[in-house]
Amino acid sequence: MTVATTSHAMWRKRARSPYHRAIITGLVFGVIAVYLAVVGILPMINARAVIVDLLTMAQAALLAIGLGAGAFISRSERELPTGTVMVHSLITGAIAGALVALLVLAMNAIDLRSIFISLSPQTSDMLTLELDLEYAAPMLVAAGAVLGALGVLLARSPARVRKPVLIGCMAVLFFGVFQELIQIMMQFSDAITTVRDLIYTWEGLTPEGAAVIFVVATGASVLSTRKPPAASGAPSWWQTRNGVLVKAAIAIVLLILLPILAGSYIGQVLMLVGLYILMGMGLNLEVGLAGLLDLGFVAFFAVGAYTTALLTADSPHSLAAIAGFPHLNFWMAMPIAVMISVVVGVLFGIPVLGVRGDYLAVATMGLGEIVRVIVQSDAAAPLLAGAQGILQIPKPVLAGMELADPVELFFLTLVCAAVAAYFAWRLESSRLGRAWMAVRDDEDVAQALGINLVKVKLLAYGLGAAFAGLSGSIFAVMLTSIYPSSFQLLVSINVLALIIVGGMGSLPGVVVGSLALVGLPELLREFGEYRYLFYGVALIVMMRIRPEGLWPSATRRRELHDFAGELEVEEPPPAVVAEIAAHAEHRPGE
């Protein structure tokens, strides 16, 4: 870049209005609020009360938009003084509120329901808090400005203040949104029922209950993050070995008690999360450790499910009916399904050994689609039943007791996931795991160091397929029937997404990603197709704010933060910039 070009770019940067970012941010957040109202999300969630007679989910969403606008300005202008950022946040919030006010005015002046059916009088009353228009419009602008300023104050407050407040607000929102499930869990004893009646009505949280939850959550956050005196230099008790063991014990107790207290629906959701955890750990070996992007991973899941069905089903399409094989129970069929999945995984990896990057993703996606087409084809219908699927798959039987209830099957999935997690953890720390990571970083260097690329890649595909085959085997007995439609490409994409959101190469990240991308959408099923909109928005925000994942591995965190920080180029001092500009003025031809 020439000196003249540099000077011109600096002149354009100086010529931009200091309020440019504030105006653009206000417009963006205002458009988000208007969009949520126009498409019908705000009217729908307004029916759900978070705090009875005080706060609905729609109002909570609008509050979050206003606070988020201020927090975004604070983050974008972290180098500016707080006073200047406060002025910008007032402008940002006022613009966002003004857009909502314009929507309300347009709704009352023009009949927009013929175009946007959600813009009803009820929506107008919700946005204006049932105030008259001459008061509602200024109120929306002023409320937006105040919320923007509060967002800046919250973002610039010390972490010891900001974190407990955010956790307290999130706890109130959680207990308000999922109040039906929580109330069902709190009806098993008189003492718990008394507590429930204190904090809940059947419409939502009481104001007293919301205050209690906020105080408890805030206090717990303060206690858990409290640091020891600086002179001691010792870690907090929660960071010691005993503290880690206590946290692990609490997590295990919650995992055991939650499905028992919550009932079959929560057990079903947790079981689905467990199946995705199993698949996520398998794909994590391929993508997170070995760097082999696999979009046909669902094929191994299907192999495990169909193998279990063929060996155990009491139907005309089982191997017992076709070839006279003896009927096997689940415990005998499951290891066979895992082994066949390993074999298919190795065969799956042979054609793509020399393919890298995006081409590998396309190739594996093609192989996965080949498996799906074969299952649906007429040629394989005598064995695999085609689109009709295989029915009458028996439930597992343990010590004479049939594991038919979703809660019982969840505990089976939990045990299998724990065993699989142990093997995945040992593989990550092994010589093979280090070879996978070397291949992920640079195949050519890894080969120069003596690593057998063929062996290492095929082991990654085979061992990853074993986890998916185990998940498919449990999936088959969960449904007692399997169909080709259950093994679409979307399953592979979801597994890959939960690994990215949780943290590439991180086993805890797989668990967190499964809970976030599989568990929460299932619990939000009452919001219909809108839950996928929330799903997509969460993914976009996640990739922008925390690209390393919710619980990344230490290596991934260093790659995205520490190493990037070392390469960051410092801006030249103001004196150097002024000298360059003066030089450009005297010699404009360069």
pLDDT band (50, 70, 90) for residue 153: very high
Number of domains in the chain: 2
Return the pLDDT at 10: 45
Residue 23 lies in a domain: yes
Return the pLDDT at 25: 93
Radius of gyration for the alpha carbons in the chain, expressed in angstroms and rounded: 28
Closest by Cα among 69, 85, 78, 71 to 25: 69
Instruction: Give the single-character DSSP code of 51.
Output: E
In a shared domain, residues 141 and 271: no
d(CA 301, CA 587) in angstroms, rounded, equals 68
Instruction: Give the single-character DSSP code of 484.
Output: G
Question: In this predicted model, which residue has the larger pLDDT, 114 or 10?
Answer: 114
Q: pLDDT for 167-185, tens place per residue?
A: 999 999 988 888 877 887 7
Which tokens in the block code for residue 466?
Answer: 């074993």
d(CA 18, CA 211) in angstroms, rounded, equals 40
Residue 49 dihedral angles phi and psi, to the nearest 5°: -85, 135
d(CA 578, CA 580) in angstroms, rounded, equals 5
Q: Which of 72-81, 99-108, 438-447, 569-578 has the least mean pLDDT?
A: 569-578
Residue 92 lies in a domain: yes
Residue 192 lies in a domain: no
Q: Which residues contact 394 (CB under 8 A, 6 or more apart)?
A: 312, 313, 314, 329, 330, 477, 480
Residue 398 dihedral angles phi and psi, to the nearest 5°: -125, 120
Q: How far is CA 211 from the centre of its chain?
A: 28
Instruction: Assess whether pLDDT exceeds 70 at residue 561.
Output: no
Mean pLDDT of 402-422: 91
Return the pLDDT at 12: 47
Point out the domain boundary residue: 488, 504, 531.
488
Residue 131 lies in a domain: yes
Q: pLDDT for 477-536, tens place per residue?
A: 999 999 988 898 889 999 998 998 888 888 889 999 998 888 888 777 777 667 777 777
In a shared domain, residues 285 and 136: no
Instruction: Assess whether pLDDT exceeds 90 at residue 6.
Output: no
Q: Which residues contact 57 (CB under 8 A, 6 or more apart)?
A: 45, 46, 48, 49, 50, 176, 177
Residue 304 lies in a domain: yes
Q: Which residues contact 580 (CB under 8 A, 6 or more apart)?
A: 3, 6, 7, 10, 572
Return the pLDDT at 9: 46
Show the domain range for 131. Answer: 17-156
End-to-end Cα distance, the chain: 10
Whether 348 and 466 have beta carbons less than 8 Å apart is answered as: no
Point out the domain boundary residue: 463, 488, 513.
488
Residue 124 lies in a domain: yes
In a shared domain, residues 296 and 424: yes
- Assign 487 to helix, strand or coil: coil
Q: pLDDT for 267-315, tens place per residue?
A: 888 999 999 999 999 999 999 899 998 999 999 999 999 999 999 998 8
Q: Which of 123-137, 214-228, 394-408, 486-500 has the least mean pLDDT?
A: 214-228
Instruction: Assess whether pLDDT exceeds 90 at residue 562.
Output: no
Closest by Cα among 302, 400, 404, 300 to 310: 302
Q: pLDDT for 182-208, tens place per residue?
A: 887 777 666 677 888 888 887 889 999
In a shared domain, residues 294 and 421: yes
- For the beta carbon of residue 160, count every other beta carbon within 10 angstroms: 12
Return the pLDDT at 28: 94
Residue 551 lies in a domain: no
CA pseudo-torsion sign 462, 467, 470, 476: negative
In a shared domain, residues 270 and 409: yes
Point out the domain boundary residue: 122, 156, 190.
156
In a shared domain, residues 149 and 281: no
Whether 177 and 48 have beta carbons less than 8 Å apart is answered as: yes
Q: Residue 345 is inside which H or E element, if any? A: helix 330-349
- Assign 408 to helix, strand or coil: helix
Question: In this predicted model, which residue has the larger pLDDT, 203 or 141?
Answer: 141
Question: In this predicted model, which residue has the larger pLDDT, 466 or 41?
Answer: 466
- Assign 49 to helix, strand or coil: strand
In a shared domain, residues 139 and 272: no
Question: Can you give the pTM of this predicted structure?
Answer: 0.80
- Assign 401 to helix, strand or coil: strand
Residue 256 lies in a domain: no
Q: Which of 329-333, 486-490, 545-549 has the least mean pLDDT?
A: 545-549
d(CA 463, CA 292) in angstroms, rounded, equals 13
Return the pLDDT at 14: 47
d(CA 23, CA 31) in angstroms, rounded, equals 12
Share of the chain above pLDDT 90, in %: 38
Q: What is the DSSP string of 126-185?
A: HHHTT--HHHHHHHHHHHHHHHHHHHHHHHHS-HHHHHHHHHHHHHHHHHHHTHHHHHHH
